[in-house]
Amino acid sequence: MIRRRVGRIAVVAVVLAAGGVLVTGALQDTLTYYRTPGEVLDDPDAGRRPTRLGGEVVPGSVRRSGDLVTFRLGGDGHEITVTQRGMPPETFREGQGAIVEGRLSATGVFESDRVVVQHGNEYGPSPGPLAPEAGGAR
């Protein structure tokens, strides 16, 4: 009786371990890591997996050729060339923070599928005709 119970527990443990390995393997393919240009340049193999690369668009580096946009993304003294098919968002500008999603190619160029522009997170009322005057009461 005890041998039978130990055998069942062993089978259940093997099945759970195999399931854990399968789930972990499936999640590895769907994970996207956030990295800086320096981290991608230090470990190019890591950049060849789906990656979110964050940094500042280097001023004077944006070039447009048809639907291909090429620019450099920098941070912490490192820069990496990024290519993007299609137009980036309207708020995309030189000197502004951006996050691109894609992979590092064998040539060392980061090929982006998507560009997300970072912007300030300070919100407030815009000065307009309805804004109260300083020092005055209505």
Question: What is the pLDDT of the chain when averaged over all its residues?
Answer: 84
Domain shared by 49 and 69, yes or no = yes
Claim to verify: residue 77 and residue 111 sit in the same structural domain: yes
Shared domain for 27 and 41, answered yes or no, is no
Does 32 have pLDDT greater than 90?
Answer: no
Give the tens place of pLDDT for each residue, 67-118: 899 999 998 899 999 999 988 888 888 988 999 999 999 999 999 988 888 7
> Would you state the pLDDT for residue 81?
95
Whether residue 124 is contained in a domain is answered as no
Asked if pLDDT for residue 122 goes beyond 80, the answer is no
User: Residue 94 is part of a domain; what is its CATH number?
Assistant: 2.40.50.140
> Is the residue at 133 inside a domain?
no
Does 108 lie in the same domain as 45?
Answer: yes
Give yes or no for residue 19 having a pLDDT over 80.
yes
Q: Residue 17 is part of which domain span? A: 1-31
Same structural domain, 25 and 38: no
CA distance 12 to 19: 10
- Structural domain contains residue 126: no
Same domain, yes or no, for 37 and 26? no
Residues 47 and 113 in one domain: yes
User: Given a cut of 80, is residue 121 above it in pLDDT?
Assistant: no
Q: Is 78 annotated as a binding residue?
A: no
Domain count for the chain: 2
- Band the pLDDT of 138: cuts 50, 70, 90: very low
Let me know if residue 134 belongs to a domain.
Answer: no
Do 75 and 19 reside in the same domain of the chain? no
Residue 33 annotated as binding?
A: no
Does 26 share its domain with 39? Answer: no
Taking the C-alpha atoms of residue 113 and residue 134, their distance in angstroms, rounded to an integer, is 47
Residue 23 or 136, more confident = 23
Q: How far is CA 18 from the centre of its chain?
A: 31
Using one digit for the tens of pLDDT, what is the confidence trace for 35-59?
A: 999 999 998 887 788 899 999 999 9
